[in-house]
């Protein structure tokens, strides 16, 4: 391919990959510019034109929902400004990368080309950083990968954005795919599996950044006080993702949550039950303690990760608060966030 056909836009948002040591605080903070990041890559990328956009210098622990919208809006602007764009790379901190990548998946649909999130466990300013390799891999996927969806490229693996979870704090192998498996790997070639959405340049992208960020993520634990649900609703939250035990089970005897769930729903708050387990799905029909939540009006997240479910509910509530429509939209498999759709 000629250079004209290999345009990739690199959007930087901060994170460990761009961090430097600040002697005044004795800690790491984002500081490397997009040009400094690119200068750390090996030479020999003359067949790829990398267009640079510096959006934030942000530790991803400080990322907020409006930052998801700003990333999606930047992608929209870039798509309109740059002809023959092959793909987009977003560098991002690993701590909340799955939230941002999932949000972009919902907000930018039918892009038809790769939108690739990546980052690092060790700053690119350090000689043994994994950042340069991850960034180079991400640019390869954006330029040449037969992929038409948002993904996370990290440590030689390609994960669907809505199926990924950060599972290791310090290891280079920070991310895993939560059922099904990853959508590809990087070796001497880009190896992509059949379970991915392929590149399709003829699509008309849909950009929709509407969001209701008043969604709460709650982890149930033995002894959890059910009154907390009412407090969450009183704080003005419109949706709650409850991480239940196992297949989505919640207490129904001592410290029963069912009354609190029913009260929240009666006050117009939507409740979705996911699982604390990394693999498998929330199936509220198996046990009485799961069925009870279903009977009072809770929705199931099925096999969505809690991160993908939270962002999806926020995105859905940005469109409607009508109960039947919310239920319908939560059951639609928009971007591979679920293994199946109830409406399929």
Active-site residue identified among 76, 110, 146, 166 = 166
Answer whether 179's CB lies under 8 Å from 279's CB: yes
Q: How many helices (H) and strands (E) does the chain have?
A: 9, 18
Answer whether 306's CB lies under 8 Å from 243's CB: yes
Active site residue 166: yes
Measured distance CA(344)–CA(333) in Å, rounded: 8
Which neighbouring-strand residues pair with 166?
175
Instruction: Using alpha carbons, list the distances in angstroms from residue 340 to 115, 182, 278, 333.
Output: 23, 17, 17, 7
Measured distance CA(308)–CA(147) in Å, rounded: 20
Phi, psi of 55 (to 5 degrees): -95, -50
Which neighbouring-strand residues pair with 151?
116, 160
Active-site residue identified among 94, 96, 118, 305 = 94
Active-site residue identified among 13, 16, 118, 305 = 16
Measured distance CA(31)–CA(323) in Å, rounded: 45
Active-site residue identified among 7, 12, 91, 95 = 95
> Please, which residues have CB within 8 angstroms of residue 46's CB and are 6 or more apart in sequence?
3
Measured distance CA(289)–CA(83) in Å, rounded: 54
Active site residue 173: no
Measured distance CA(260)–CA(205) in Å, rounded: 41
- Determine how β-strand 150-154 pairs with β-strand 299-300: unpaired
Active site amino acids: 16, 94-95, 166
């Amino acid at each position: 391919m000629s250079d004209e056909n290999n345009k990739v836009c690199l959007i930087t948002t901060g994170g460990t990959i761009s961090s430097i040591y600040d002697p005044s605080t004795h800690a790491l903070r984002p500081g490397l510019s997009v040009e400094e990041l690119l200068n750390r890559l090996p030479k020999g990328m003359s067949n790829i034109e990398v267009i640079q956009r510096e959006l934030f210098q942000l530790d991803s622990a400080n990322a907020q929902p409006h930052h998801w919208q700003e990333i999606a809006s930047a992608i929209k602007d870039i798509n309109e400004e740059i002809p023959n764009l092959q793909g987009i790379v977003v560098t991002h901190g690993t701590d909340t990368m799955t939230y941002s990548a999932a949000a972009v998946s919902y907000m930018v649909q039918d892009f038809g080309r790769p939108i690739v999130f990546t980052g690092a466990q060790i700053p690119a300013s350090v000689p043994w950083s994994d950042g340069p390799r991850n960034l180079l891999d991400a640019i390869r996927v954006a330029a040449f990968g037969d992929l038409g969806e948002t993904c996370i490229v990290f440590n030689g693996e390609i994960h669907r954005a809505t199926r990924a979870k950060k599972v290791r704090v310090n290891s280079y192998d920070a991310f895993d795919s939560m059922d099904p498996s990853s959508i590809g790997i990087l070796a001497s070639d880009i190896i992509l599996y059949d379970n991915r959405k392929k590149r399709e340049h003829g699509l008309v992208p849909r950009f929709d950044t509407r969001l209701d960020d008043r969604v709460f993520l709650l982890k149930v634990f033995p002894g959890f006080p059910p009154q907390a649900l009412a407090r969450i609703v009183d704080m003005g939250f419109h949706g709650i993702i409850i991480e239940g035990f196992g297949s989505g089970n919640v207490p129904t005897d001592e410290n029963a949550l069912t009354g609190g769930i029913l009260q929240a729903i009666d006050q117009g708050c939507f409740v979705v039950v996911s699982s604390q387990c990394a693999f498998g799905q929330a199936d509220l029909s198996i046990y009485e303690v799961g069925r009870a939540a279903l009977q009072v009006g809770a929705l199931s997240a099925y096999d969505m990760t809690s991160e993908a479910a939270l962002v999806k509910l926020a995105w859905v509530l940005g469109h409607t608060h009508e109960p039947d429509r919310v239920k319908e939209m939560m059951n639609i498999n928009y971007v591979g966030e679920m293994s199946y759709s109830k409406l399929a």
